[in-house]
Amino acid sequence: MAEFVFTRRFLRELAEFEKSSSGSDLQNLEQTLAAIVQDPHLPGRVPSFYDPSLPSYLYRAGDIIVHYRITTHGDLEFLNFFWPRI
């Protein structure tokens, strides 16, 4: 299991997400983050091409898309995530 950190942006988005999401949405996000931490190279991830010098990936689970990267030290950095905002 990799070590992980959250960017400030991710934490701000998480606070906003928590205000408007259901219990199942929160559980989906929690399970998605746990799956990425268990295996950052999991099937279904796609390169984001955001910064070619430090590749990052997008992983979709239901309506949530998580943007993360593996640092040069092999740790995970959760950058941000996307969800439908109603």
Taken in order of first residue, the domains within the chain and their CATH numbers are: 4-82 (3.30.2310.20)
Q: pLDDT per residue over 59-68, tens digit each?
A: 999 889 999 9
Q: Are 32 and 26 in contact (CB under 8 A)?
A: no
pTM exceeds 0.75, yes or no? yes
pLDDT tens digits, 11-50: 999 999 999 888 999 999 999 999 999 999 999 999 998 7
Residue 51 has pLDDT above 80, yes or no: no
**Quick check: 4 and 78 in contact, CB under 8 A?**
yes
As a whole number of angstroms, the distance between CA 38 and CA 25 comes to 20
Look at residue 73 and give its three-state secondary structure: coil
